[in-house]
Amino acid sequence: MEVRWEKLTGPELKARAAEGALPILPIGSLEQHGPHLPVWTDSFIAHQVAVAAAESATDVPALVLPPLWTGLSEHHLPFGGTITLDYATFHAVLRCVVRSLKAQGFQRLLIVNGHGGNIEPLGVSVRELAHEFGMPVVTTTWPQAAPAEIAAILTTQPRIMHACEGETALWMALDPAQVRMDRLEEAAGANNEGVQAPPGFSRFYSFAERAPRTGVRGDPRAATAEKGKAMMAALAARIAAAMRDPVLWTTPEPVWKPSQE
């Protein structure tokens, strides 16, 4: 069964809503990913992960929307190639998506995020949207969906960073022509010396401060297509399992209405 929303017709999608299909919204960004990866990286990977999960969960009817291609990326502006939203706009766009889905009969939404700068905003947005529309809105950021599996696959870093071994490996598996292989040495040079807030504290730093000179965190030279394929398989399995998990898909408690107790 086709899982990509944009390939279906209006009547077909209306029927899928009536059948209880789960919409999945990939969210990414349009931002620099060093000298070797396209600015489309976060949006492309989030969409590919969502499609893979939907196709593997054949017992859960799902529909993957086209990716929301811009998020909160102002920290990448110094390197060029970045288009960013502010939080008010980001939440407003998400609200319009949820409102549209609700109007067509869909009763839940899974958001698969591919950009670190969206994690905290999404945490607030999905809570507000669940209150407003009375439906479960669940978000996951794909590196956090299968952290143990990813750590076991990577060889130079314990987790996904930025334009790193992991993201480069995924591009190699999905569309290797997009990786500028002749720029890997440049991308790996002196890229982990930036400032970081001490544990327990948070503030804004641009990526020019956090990853000076290259805009990269991690070593993309260790990437291989085999690692990318292994990560895709692990992510599809873990997100498909979440699609089946009844704990995630209960109707939110109507906390803004008077208690019935």
| Per-residue pLDDT tens over the stretch 61-119 | 999 999 999 999 999 999 999 999 999 999 999 999 999 999 999 999 999 999 999 99
Q: Which tokens belong to 45?
A: 């990977």
Q: Which segment, 59-63, 196-200, 205-209, is predicted with the most confidence on average? A: 59-63
Asked whether the whole model's pTM tops 0.85, one would answer yes
Q: What is the CA radius of gyration of the chain?
A: 19
Chain-wide mean pLDDT for the chain?
95
**Domain residue limits, the chain:** 5-249
Look at the domain 5-249 and name its fold: Rossmann fold (3.40.50)
Q: What percent of the chain has pLDDT over 70?
A: 97
Structural tokens at position 173: 């598996």
Residues 122-139: what's their mean pLDDT? 97
User: Residue 191 has what pLDDT?
Assistant: 57
Q: Higher-confidence residue: 193 or 251?
A: 251
**Residue 16: per-residue pLDDT:** 97
Placement of tokens 């980001």 in the chain: 90
Average pLDDT of the residues in 219-225: 96
**Which tokens go with 127?**
């809570």
Residue 245: per-residue pLDDT: 97
Secondary structure of residue 162 in the 3-state scheme: strand
Burial 187-219 (b: 16+ CB within 10 A, else e): bbeebbebeeeeeeeeeeebbeebbbebbbbbb
Whether the Cβ atoms of residue 233 and residue 208 lie closer than 8 Å to each other? no
Q: How far apart are CA 198 and CA 88, in angstroms?
A: 28
Residue closest to 134 by CA, chosen among 161, 159, 164, 109:
109
pLDDT of the residue at 259: 76
Q: What is the DSSP letter of 148?
A: H
Q: What is the pLDDT of residue 163?
A: 96
DSSP assignment of 20-78 equals: T-EEEEEE--B--BTBTB-TTHHHHHHHHHHHHHHHH-TTS-EEEPPPB-----GGGGG
What proportion of the chain, given as a percentage, has pLDDT over 90?
Answer: 92
